[in-house]
């Protein structure tokens, strides 16, 4: 299927993006067929290109976030670079940026200026703490937001807190920006009205910590840290097995609790024991309950435990490392891997999670820095000599 047949074919996105949140937003738009023109600094590019060199010499972050895009190097502080940028914006549908606080306004790319100049353009702003309010001028990064929202205080063991092992604040913001842009495109198409989109990392992750926020506000204390145990459900967590591995299982309701007691623990009397009769009772007596479960787990190997739990309808899993995840039978059995080009090589990449029936995802190459500069400028009417002069002056 060609790009012209994909759902967002004909949509052009111009993005002044870096790091994770904005590139994740635009990569998902590119997956659906949008033309994404990624503007990068001449000579340097998106600084995420240099986070690591593990993927055939390229950054794992950059490879993940930037397939199917066109890379244009452009000094947007130079008047000639600004002229090129505005030529692109004049034909664009969406403009995405996650520049430092105040930078877009200083460049004349604030929402008010853009909507006045380009009435059909949908500006999408991704910031740390919002473009207004007491923290509007603060720089923000993923782990800072994990700390500010309290997420770090929820993650880890009783003795030590921990960051979430992925860029969860960036990903949350990227997802909300993506859905916000889709909603704005739909609204423009159906009503003609244009709604700028704004998402902050802080408010995106604040939404994701709403359950512990409710628990804390109305329960008086926040959920405690229990490692792989669940803070508010028991038994729910990983336990060591006889062969030195770990198996995680979950009890979600009273029916499952009864089955676990009768058929797995072989302790039917526990079902109505007042210490364990309800979910809150089991959480209150977690240590005693965990000791009972741990004794049962210690008598069997991991494979045997998984079979026994599956046989009685209790959800369970081994605790995989990333290498085991890469070989997961669901990914291979459902043919989720595709080859994607990177400069000088190819990599295995996962299909986007949302499948649209009859619409295969676009999985085009990850661009080299400035790879499409000449083609884009030629389309804008620049001659080869013009482009070389701009290149010599560091404009592109």
Residues 82 and 374: beta-carbon distance below 8 Å: no
Alpha carbon of 136 to those of 101, 128, 234: distances in Å? 7, 8, 41
Please state the separation of Cα 200 from the chain's center in Å. Answer: 14
CATH number assigned to the domain covering 236-318: 3.30.1540.10
Residues 197 and 177: beta-carbon distance below 8 Å: yes
Q: Burial code of 203-240, b = ≥16 C-beta within 10 A, e = fewer? A: bbbbebbeebeeeeeeeeeebebbeebbbebbbbbbbe
CB atoms within 10 A of CB 278: 11
Kindly report the pTM of this predicted structure.
0.91
d(CA 46, CA 392): 20
Cα angle, residue 115 at apex, residues 175 and 101 outer, rounded to 5°: 55
- 111: closest CA among 126, 99, 124, 127? 124
State phi, psi for 31 to the nearest 5 degrees: -55, -35
Burial of 327 from C-beta contacts in 10 A (0-12 / 13-18 / 19+): exposed
State phi, psi for 369 to the nearest 5 degrees: -60, 125
Same fold, 3-209+335-392 and 236-318: no
Q: For the domain with range 3-209+335-392, which CATH number is right: 3.40.50.10540, 3.40.50.12780, 3.90.25.10, 3.90.190.20?
A: 3.40.50.10540
Residue by residue, pLDDT tens for the chain (396 residues) are 455 589 999 999 999 999 999 999 999 999 999 999 999 999 999 999 999 999 999 999 999 999 999 999 999 999 999 999 999 999 999 999 999 999 999 999 999 999 999 999 999 999 999 999 999 999 899 999 999 999 999 999 999 999 999 999 999 999 999 999 999 999 999 999 999 999 999 999 999 999 999 999 999 999 989 888 888 899 999 999 999 999 999 999 999 999 999 999 999 999 989 999 899 999 999 999 999 999 999 999 999 999 999 999 999 999 998 999 999 999 999 999 999 999 999 999 999 999 999 998 899 999 999 999 999 999 999 999 999 999 999 999
d(CA 264, CA 267): 8
- Domain extents in the chain: 3-209+335-392, 236-318
Alpha carbon of 74 to those of 48, 113, 191, 395: distances in Å? 17, 20, 34, 6
């Amino acid at each position: 299927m060609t790009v012209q047949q994909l759902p967002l074919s004909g949509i052009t996105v111009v993005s002044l993006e870096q790091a994770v949140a904005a590139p994740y937003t635009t990569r998902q738009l590119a997956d659906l067929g949008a033309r994404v023109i990624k503007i990068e600094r001449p000579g340097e590019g998106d600084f995420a290109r240099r986070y690591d060199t593990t993927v055939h010499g390229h950054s794992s972050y950059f490879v993940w976030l930037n397939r199917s895009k066109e890379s244009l190097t452009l000094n947007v502080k130079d008047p000639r670079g600004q002229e090129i940028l505005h030529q692109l914006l004049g034909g664009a549908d969406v403009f995405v940026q996650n520049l430092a606080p105040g930078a877009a306004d200083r460049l004349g790319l604030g929402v008010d200026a853009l909507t006045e100049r380009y009435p059909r353009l949908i500006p999408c702003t991704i910031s740390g703490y919002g473009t207004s309010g007491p923290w509007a001028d603060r720089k923000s990064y993923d782990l800072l937001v994990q700390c500010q929202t309290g997420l770090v205080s929820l993650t880890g063991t009783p003795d030590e807190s921990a960051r979430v092992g992925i860029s969860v604040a960036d990903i949350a913001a990227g997802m909300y920006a993506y859905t916000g842009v889709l909603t704005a495109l739909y609204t423009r198409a159906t009503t003609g009205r244009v709604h700028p989109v704004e998402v902050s990392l802080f408010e995106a992750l604040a939404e994701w910590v709403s359950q512990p926020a409710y628990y804390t506000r109305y329960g008086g204390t926040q959920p405690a840290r229990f490692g792989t145990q669940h803070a508010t459900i028991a038994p729910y967590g990983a336990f060591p097995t006889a062969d030195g591995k770990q198996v995680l299982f979950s009890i979600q309701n009273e029916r499952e609790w009864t089955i676990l007691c009768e058929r797995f623990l072989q302790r039917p009397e526990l079902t109505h024991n007042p210490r364990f009769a309800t979910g809150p009772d089991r959480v209150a007596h977690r240590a005693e309950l965990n000791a009972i479960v741990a004794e049962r787990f210690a008598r069997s190997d991991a494979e045997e435990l998984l079979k026994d739990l599956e046989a009685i309808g209790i959800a369970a899993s081994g605790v995989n490392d990333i290498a085991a995840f890469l070989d997961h039978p669901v990914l291979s059995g459902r043919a989720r891997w595709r080859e994607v080009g990177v400069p000088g090589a190819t990599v295995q990449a996962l299909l986007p999670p949302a499948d649209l029936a009859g619409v295969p995802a676009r999985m085009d190459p990850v661009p080299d820095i400035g790879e499409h500069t000449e083609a884009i400028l030629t389309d804008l009417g620049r001659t080869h000599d013009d482009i070389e002069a701009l290149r010599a002056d560091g404009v592109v």
